[in-house]
């Protein structure tokens, strides 16, 4: 069993004891990620999108319910495949912009996830076209580097009032890296594409995310301990 350092645990206990906070308007505390960003602020952590944990060896995540948690971002191979994906797999929106936003949990109505030749591949059902892929080692490395140990804080957030309640926390460690590939294929870990073509013709890629339901984290961690 592994737990964060004494300072982090103490601050987290204080946050849970206070429970309810009003998130200030403006600054970096905006959008759906506001509760997590404000939690980082309360813990004295520097907000960062780097592929390293937030609190030393520990990554920090806020869960406001059953929404999918983003584990990490990883652009698929081959190089520049997102342009092909958006043009061939996407659709034209009301603004006339070609985009592709789709979440695949093992299989959707149009796509399937395969484990083939030491790589995860996504294919259009019934089509033999370019299949974006990720090498097993690249996915496992991204997961282990960013999320070897995880602090998961649960609560509730009301965007209208900007009130957040930090109600519970648990420490997840002993990442089961070899289970990650199985979880992606089975659909416990979902692949979330989000990209579009700008007016200039350039691809705007918000990053391909690998996401999971909070209750499915048990599939990729061996150890869980409640913080309170």
Residue 70 phi, psi (nearest 5): -80, 120
3-state SS, residue 178? helix
Is 4 or 76 the better-scoring residue by pLDDT? 76
What domains lie within the chain, and their CATH numbers? 6-226 (3.30.70.3570)
Mean pLDDT, range 74-89, rounded to an integer: 91
Find the Cα–Cα–Cα–Cα dihedral 93, 95, 101, 102, rounded to 10°: -20
Decide the pairing of beta strands 98-104 and 189-197.
antiparallel
CA–CA dist 50, 67 (Å, integer): 22
Mean pLDDT, range 96-122, rounded to an integer: 94
Element (H, E) at 156: strand 150-158
**How confident is the model at residue 128, as a pLDDT?**
82
Mean pLDDT, range 33-39, rounded to an integer: 94
**How confident is the model at residue 32, as a pLDDT?**
86
Give me the DSSP letters along 30-82.
Answer: -STTHHHHHHHHHTTPPP--SSS-SBTTBEEEEE-SSSPEEEEE-PPBSTTHH
CA–CA dist 196, 6 (Å, integer): 44
3-state SS, residue 208? coil
CA–CA dist 158, 39 (Å, integer): 15
Mean pLDDT, range 143-171, rounded to an integer: 95
pLDDT band at 228 (very low <50, low <70, confident <90, very high): low
Residue 147 has pLDDT above 90, yes or no: yes
Question: Per the structure block, which two tokens stand in for 99?
Answer: 């985009």
**How confident is the model at residue 66, as a pLDDT?**
79
Task: Write the Ramachandran bin of 142: left for phi over 0, alpha for psi from -120 to 50, otherwise beta.
Answer: alpha
**How confident is the model at residue 168, as a pLDDT?**
96
pLDDT > 90 in the chain, percent: 71
Break the chain down into helix, strand, coil percent, rounded to 5.
Answer: 25, 35, 35
**How confident is the model at residue 199, as a pLDDT?**
87
What integer best gives the mean pLDDT of the chain? 91
**How confident is the model at residue 98, as a pLDDT?**
95
pTM of the model: 0.90
pLDDT band at 1 (very low <50, low <70, confident <90, very high): low
Contacts of 32 (CB under 8 A, 6+ apart): none
Residue 68 has pLDDT above 70, yes or no: yes
**How confident is the model at residue 179, as a pLDDT?**
96
**How confident is the model at residue 126, as a pLDDT?**
86
Residue 186 has pLDDT above 70, yes or no: yes
């Amino acid at each position: 069993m592994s737990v964060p350092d004494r300072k982090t645990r103490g601050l987290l206990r204080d946050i849970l004891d206070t429970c309810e906070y009003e998130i200030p308007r403006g600054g970096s505390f905006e959008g759906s990620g506001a509760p997590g960003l404000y939690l980082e602020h309360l813990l004295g952590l520097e907000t960062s999108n780097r592929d390293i944990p937030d609190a030393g060896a520990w990554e920090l995540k806020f869960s406001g319910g059953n929404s999918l948690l983003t584990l990490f971002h990883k652009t698929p191979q081959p190089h520049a495949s997102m342009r092909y994906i958006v043009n061939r797999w996407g659709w034209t929106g009301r603004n006339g912009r070609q985009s592709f936003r789709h979440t695949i949990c093992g299989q959707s109505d149009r796509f399937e996830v395969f484990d083939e030749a030491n790589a995860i591949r996504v294919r259009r059902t019934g089509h033999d076209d370019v299949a974006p892929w990720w090498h097993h080692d690249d996915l496992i490395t991204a997961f282990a580097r960013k999320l070897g140990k995880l602090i998961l804080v649960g609560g509730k957030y009301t965007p209208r009032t900007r009130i957040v309640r930090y109600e519970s926390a648990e420490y997840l460690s002993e990442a089961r890296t070899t289970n990650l590939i199985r979880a992606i294929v089975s659909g416990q870990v979902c692949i979330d594409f989000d990209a579009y073509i700008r007016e200039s013709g350039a691809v705007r890629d918000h990053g391909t995310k690998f996401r999971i339901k909070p209750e499915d984290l048990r599939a990729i961690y061996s150890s869980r301990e409640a913080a309170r």
